[in-house]
Each structure stands twice: as C-alpha cells, then as structure tokens.
Amino acid sequence: MFDVHVHAAPDVLERIGYDDQIGQSYATAGYSGFVLKAHHESTVGRASALSRSSGLEVVGGIALNRAVGGINPAAVLSALSTGGRVVWFPTADAHTQESAHLPRLGDLDERLDRSVLSVPPVLSPDDKATKDVTLVLDLIAEHDAVLCTGHLSGEECRWLFRQALDRNISRFLLTHPSYTVPAMKAQEIAELAEKGAHVEITAYQLFHQPGITASELAAVARAAGPRLVLSSDAGQPDSPEPPAALEQLIAALSAQGLDLGRLRAAAGDTPRKLVLP
C-alpha cells in the first residue's frame, strides 16, 4: 500500500501527529510508503529525512501557494532538483478555495490580503505570470514529476491536462476532482480519465465533504476506470490515523460493489507507479 496524499505536523493547521509519528503508523500498517503534503511549504527535505530514518518510501513535493511564491518556477526547480516528485498547483490559495470559504493562510492573520491564484492567468501571452506557468509545466516534464491539479476549477484542470499532453507529461493526477473544489461531475472526470488522467478519491471526502455519499464516490471510482487512485488526505485531529482512514475508504467503496482487488491496487501499485521514478 502507498498513500499518495497525507498531512503531518508541523503545519499551520493542527495535525494528528508529526512526520515520524505518521511514518510509524504506516510502518506498523505494513505500507511501503506515502507522499507527504503541506499547503504552505515544500516537504522535500522532511520526506527525505523521514525516508532515510524509517526505511519507508517517503516522497515530498511542493504546493504552489503564496507562501512559496505562488506559481513560482524557482521554487519548483529547487524542489524537483532535490528529490521532490510531486507539484500541486494552487490549493489553499486557489480562487476556488476563497469562493468556497475553505481554510486559507490568511485566516490566521487579518493583515494578510486575500489575493488568489489561478491558471491560465488571464493575461497576455507575453506576461511574466503566463511565462511562469509555462516554465513550471516544462520543469515538471523535464523532471518526469507528477502534476497534480490542486484545488483549481474544472476548467483549469482541463486546461492543465491539455498542457500536460502537449509536453508528454504522463504523470497527471486530478486532485480529488469530486471534492467541493473543483466539484467536477463523474462524466467530466471520465472524459479526462479515458485520455490518460489519473483520478484521486480521498478518505477525507468520505469523512468531511458536505453532502457526499459512498455511492457518489463509487460513481467517481467507476468513471476513473483503471486510473483510479485512492488516498487518505488524512492527518486532521478529527480523522482516523491515515492508514486506518484509507482502509475505511476502501471498505466503503467495496460495500458499493466495487472489486476489492481493484480498490487495493488503487491504494497501492497504481499510486506508487505514478509517483516513483
């Protein structure tokens, strides 16, 4: 088993455990490894240290929010050149996050402004912001890294996928597309999956997404086909420990009639092959 999406302390939000504690929970559960995610800093150094100390395959990456300079090629190059494998486009600072009233760093201090990020920038082709997006995509392609769509809108996810295809980026993951952001429909998801996009469903959705049901998540799983990826997106104090959260998601989808072997592959071999070189 390999969890492609987990949060740990230290973080700006409260987490259920520190890196080493989360790592121990995966080791105890018999996982081969996981991807450590943070919304406001690169996790590459933390993941490397934990991988060396634990023997697990712990992978880091960078989320392109304002704390790292937004859609910042320098931050991406630094992360990928030091072993990072995953680049998430804006999450906590995406415009969709603000409009949906979901948590943002600015919630911690009213002195921060509420500016947001989007792609492609609604700017001329010669503008620096547009060039930055292009360079980030080129760097992902050159390092054979994973492009994750973050919390952007469905339209932006589709735009990113077209850009990925143009650059032969084969490691493309729709970040929980059926979550509140971006709230994509099963048919939209199926269309991208059929063209090569991987599709994530998270245990966080099962526990915390308003109005979601196991039946609806199962419909997304069917739309994803063989490119389904299951993750925990856990680490919150009000969620189970990440390995247990992922097992509960698998059980819930299995109860909806999905093949258990396929579900375990979606939480194991499929994400591991997607992330690791």
Which pLDDT score is estimated for 90? 98
The number of beta carbons lying within 10 Å of the beta carbon of residue 183 is 14
As given in the structure block, the two tokens for residue 16 are 């259920």
Kindly tell me if the per-residue pLDDT of 123 is higher than 60: no
The rounded distance, in Å, linking the Cα atoms of 253 and 261 is: 12
Which pLDDT score is estimated for 128? 80
pLDDT band at 6 (very low <50, low <70, confident <90, very high): very high
Helix (H, G, I), strand (E, B), or coil: what is residue 122? coil
pLDDT band at 127 (very low <50, low <70, confident <90, very high): confident
The percentage of the chain sitting over the pLDDT mark of 90, rounded to a whole number, equals 96
pLDDT digit string (tens) for 18-50? 999 999 999 999 999 999 999 999 999 999 999
pLDDT band at 3 (very low <50, low <70, confident <90, very high): very high
Which pLDDT score is estimated for 120? 84
Which pLDDT score is estimated for 126? 59
Stretch 55-83: mean pLDDT: 98
pLDDT digit string (tens) for 256-271? 999 999 999 999 999 9
Which pLDDT score is estimated for 129? 83
Which pLDDT score is estimated for 265? 98
Q: Given phi > 0 = left and psi -120 to 50 = alpha, else beta, which region is 69?
A: left
pLDDT band at 125 (very low <50, low <70, confident <90, very high): low
The whole domain housing 62 covers: 2-275
pLDDT band at 202 (very low <50, low <70, confident <90, very high): very high
Kindly tell me if the per-residue pLDDT of 148 is higher than 90: yes
Q: How far is CA 111 from CA 93, 95, 96, 118, 203, in A?
A: 16, 19, 21, 22, 34
pLDDT digit string (tens) for 162-181? 999 999 999 999 999 999 99
pLDDT digit string (tens) for 206-258? 999 999 999 999 999 999 999 999 999 999 999 999 999 999 999 999 999 99
- Reference 89, options 126, 116, 50; nearest CA is 116
The total number of structural domains in the chain stands at 1
User: 265: Cβ–Cβ under 8 A, 6 or more apart, which residues?
Assistant: none
Which pLDDT score is estimated for 200? 99
pLDDT digit string (tens) for 71-96? 999 999 999 999 999 999 999 999 99
Bridge partners (DSSP) of residue 117 are: 94
Question: What CATH number should be reported for the domain holding residue 39?
Answer: 3.20.20.140
